[in-house]
Each structure stands twice: as structure tokens, then as C-alpha cells.
Amino acid sequence: MKANTVQTAPGTTVGGADVLAFATELGALGAVAVWGWHSGGWMGALGTALTFGTVWGVFLSPRAAVPVTGVWWPLAKLAVFAVSALALSTVAGVVPAAALLSLALLSAVLGGTR
């Protein structure tokens, strides 16, 4: 295997929608962490990031312990992204928050349902 290759499970591919979903998830995590930093210092940043990561991991991640399915999955994703965009708007302004929410909406549309 070459040094800069990515291995996935046999028969799986990583497409543009997957990359967009991961990028928006990281952006949302960063947004709530920055909001937490402005609200409560490093404890706020750590607390909000851990809370966001836990909710995402338990309910919305590809390997979720309690997966949200059907039409509720994109709606739950958009609700979480709306909260992170609201947090981002209080710290960075409306334009970055609108960009995050727009990319999250595109990700939810491309991701479909599970």
C-alpha cells in the first residue's frame, strides 16, 4: 500500500457526499467549541464539544448505538446543525453561520435517509 492511500472496507467507496458530510460535522463541532470557549473558557469549549460529539455519536453517526432512521435522520441532522449555526452566529456572525447551515442542508439532501 502506498503512503498516501486510504483503506476502506471491501466494496465501499468514499464519495463527495461523504467528504461534505464529514467536513460539515467537523465545522459544527468547531462552531460549538468556539461558542463554548467564548461562553465559559476552556471548560465551556470542552463541555460543549463533548456534548455535541456524544449526541452525534450515539444518535447520528454512521455507527450510532441508537440510530435515528428514516425521514427523521436528515431532520435530526439539520436540527443539530441549526443549533451549531446559531452558536456560530453569536460568535462569528451571520455569514459563516449561513454558510455552515447551507453546506449542512446540501449534505442532508445528498445523504438521503438511512
Mean pLDDT (the chain) is 88
Q: For residues 110 and 112, what is the distance between their CA atoms, to the nearest angstrom?
A: 6
Higher pLDDT, 15 or 96: 96
User: Is the predicted pLDDT of residue 114 greater than 80, yes or no?
Assistant: no
| Residue 7: alpha-carbon gap to chain centroid | 22
* Residue 29 grid coordinates: 463541532
Q: For residues 56 and 60, what is the distance between their CA atoms, to the nearest angstrom?
A: 5
Task: List own/partner pairs for 23-27 with CB under 8 A and 24 or more apart.
Answer: 23/103, 24/81, 24/100, 24/103, 24/104, 24/107, 25/56, 27/84, 27/100, 27/103
Boundaries of every domain in the chain: 16-111
Backbone angles phi, psi at 56, to 5 degrees: -65, -45
| Residue 45: alpha-carbon gap to chain centroid | 16
Higher pLDDT, 9 or 30: 30
Helical ranges in 5-93 per DSSP H: 16-55, 72-92
Q: What is the pLDDT of residues 52-82, one digit of tens each?
A: 999 999 999 888 999 998 888 888 988 999 9
Q: What is the pTM of this model?
A: 0.83
